[in-house]
Amino acid sequence: MPVNLNDPRVSRTRLLIMQAFTELVEEQKNVYSISVQDITARATINRATFYAHFEDKYAFLDCWISRKFQILLKEALPKGRITGTGSLRTVVQTVFDVLARFRQYMTHPGNSRFEPMFEIAMQKELYSLLLEWLNEEATVSPDKVETTALVASWGIFGAAVQWSRDPRNLTSETMVHRVLEVAAAALAPVLGE
Amino acid sequence: MPVNLNDPRVSRTRLLIMQAFTELVEEQKNVYSISVQDITARATINRATFYAHFEDKYAFLDCWISRKFQILLKEALPKGRITGTGSLRTVVQTVFDVLARFRQYMTHPGNSRFEPMFEIAMQKELYSLLLEWLNEEATVSPDKVETTALVASWGIFGAAVQWSRDPRNLTSETMVHRVLEVAAAALAPVLGE
DNA sequence: GCTGGAATGTTGCCTACGCGACAATTGGAC
DNA sequence: GTCCAATTGTCGCGTAGGCAACATTCCAGC
């Protein structure tokens, strides 16, 4: 449990772990079969050090997927956050894309137990992203803002999960379009529209 | 002064320093203007740690150029070392190539003071490479072998330096060919030919 | 020449990492 | 079911790296 997260060694170790796992995932596509030993060997750090940074494998996966989602969003969004209904579309599209992407990792037997983790991490991230945006634009009470962000994040996210599990011949574009309309309506009151 | 060179932290730190310097050299081509501060910042290690690994900047440069030369040779030679008069040609060619390459870094004012270091490091490396090979093939006394390796390494190397300073319209191929003939003659007695 | 700022080295204290050994849990094969 | 091997997670001790502060050397500009 490193104390100072600004210590260069700490940042470097975390970065090495993240990169190592990303490489391994891209190589073998099978999250389940990647052991802590594999990760730390690739990262050239000690296995004990891994546990000094993360409660356990699940806590790490949670952290990893969050960061990965954040990075993908940061790449997709101009300023790294939502700035208007226009960029909201980008976010929703990213959620759909990421879920479609991770779906393939989950097809291996044994991987399905990780699924909820990935999903929960994404929903949380989506929630804070929406909340940050709404708080800037808000014309109503904080409670109302938080609830709106919560409902919207779950709504968008849940729809994406549902679709990723069973696309029913619908393209992600179609779904994004439909979901966006509903989400916009839910957000409208808070945005003073 | 790290004690155990097999400690993963030590290997990693050295690797980071080497890579950082290689990157900086490729970016700004000017060895002279690269400070220890620059190297350690790029390598994400502390400046004090640098001095724990290397006596000073010169010792580091010496080490770096040796490694670089070794790596280039390892890439050029099939088994990473000399296996016969055929591969001797490869080595000589590499010496000429490397010197021609580093020549451009030395044109900047102030860099010329580093020149002898680069050259000495290369000669030493060439010497041990030749010695290793001759010791396997040797049919004469160890003294004779060492002297032959010494003279040959300086001969090959010196010719390359001379040429790199003033090519006199001669291609490296021409020079390699000529030098190789002389070197082969010098080595012949030890090789029992 | 002199002077000031930057780069080079040095030192002591604290923290993070490596390691080996250990117990606990998992999951597959029989 | 039982076993066995691999993986997970923990702990204590030794070592390497980070940091701040310092003295020294080196040039550039006056």
What is the rounded distance in angstroms from the CA atom of residue B58 to the CA atom of residue B142? 32
Nucleotides of C under 7 A from a protein CB: 6-12, 15-21, 27-28
Judged by C1' against the alpha carbon of A43, the nearest nucleotide is C17
Evaluate if residue B19 carries a pLDDT over 90: yes
Q: Which chain A residue lies closest to B12 (C-alpha atoms)?
A: A44
User: Which residues have Cβ atoms closer than 7 angstroms to strand D?
Assistant: A 6-9, 12, 35-37, 47-48, 51, 56-57; B 2-4, 7, 9-10, 12-13, 44-46, 48-49, 52-53
What is the rounded distance in angstroms from the CA atom of residue B31 to the CA atom of residue A2? 37
User: A46 and B8 in contact by Cβ < 8 A?
Assistant: yes
Q: For A29, left (φ over 0), alpha (ψ -120 to 50), or beta?
A: left
Evaluate if residue B30 carries a pLDDT over 80: no
DSSP A86-155: HHHHHHHHHHHHHHHHHHGGGGSTTGGGGHHHHHHHHHHHHHHHHHHHHHHH--S-HHHHHHHHHHHHHH
Q: DSSP character for B161?
A: H
Q: Which domains does chain B have, with CATH numbers?
A: 8-53 (1.10.10), 59-187 (1.10.357)
- A and B: number of Cβ contacts within 8 A: 10
Contacts of residue A78, Cβ cutoff 8 Å, sequence gap at least 6: A87
In the predicted model, what is the mean pLDDT of chain B?
84
How far are the Cα atoms of A6, A40, B106 from residue A17, in angstroms, in the given order? 16, 7, 39
Q: Which two tokens stand for residue B151?
A: 């003279």
Cβ atoms of A52 and A1 closer than 8 Å: yes
Q: DSSP character for A34?
A: -
Cβ atoms of A93 and A100 closer than 8 Å: no
Q: DSSP character for B188?
A: T
Looking at residue B79, its pLDDT comes to: 72
Looking at residue A6, its pLDDT comes to: 93
Q: Exposed (0-12), middle (13-18) or buried (19+): which is A76, by Cβ within 10 Å?
A: middle
Cβ atoms of B71 and B130 closer than 8 Å: no
Looking at residue B99, its pLDDT comes to: 80
Best mutation target among A7, A10, A12 (most B Cβ atoms within 10 Å) is: A12
- Residues from chain A contacting residue B12 (CB–CB below 8 Å): 44
Residues of A at the B interface (Cβ-Cβ below 8 Å)?
8, 11-12, 44-46
Looking at residue A109, its pLDDT comes to: 47
Q: For B114, left (φ over 0), alpha (ψ -120 to 50), or beta?
A: alpha
Residue-level pLDDT, tens digit, chain A, 193 residues: 787 889 999 999 999 999 999 999 888 767 778 999 999 999 999 999 999 999 988 788 878 888 888 888 888 887 767 777 778 888 889 888 887 777 665 545 455 555 665 677 788 888 888 898 888 887 888 888 988 998 888 888 888 877 877 788 899 999 999 898 899 889 888 887 6
Q: DSSP character for B80?
A: S
The average pLDDT across B6-24 equals 95
Torsion sign (Cα): B44, B46, B50, B52: negative
Looking at residue B106, its pLDDT comes to: 56
What is the rounded distance in angstroms from the CA atom of residue B40 to the CA atom of residue B56? 13
- Residues from chain A contacting residue B46 (CB–CB below 8 Å): 8
Judged by C1' against the alpha carbon of A3, the nearest nucleotide is C15
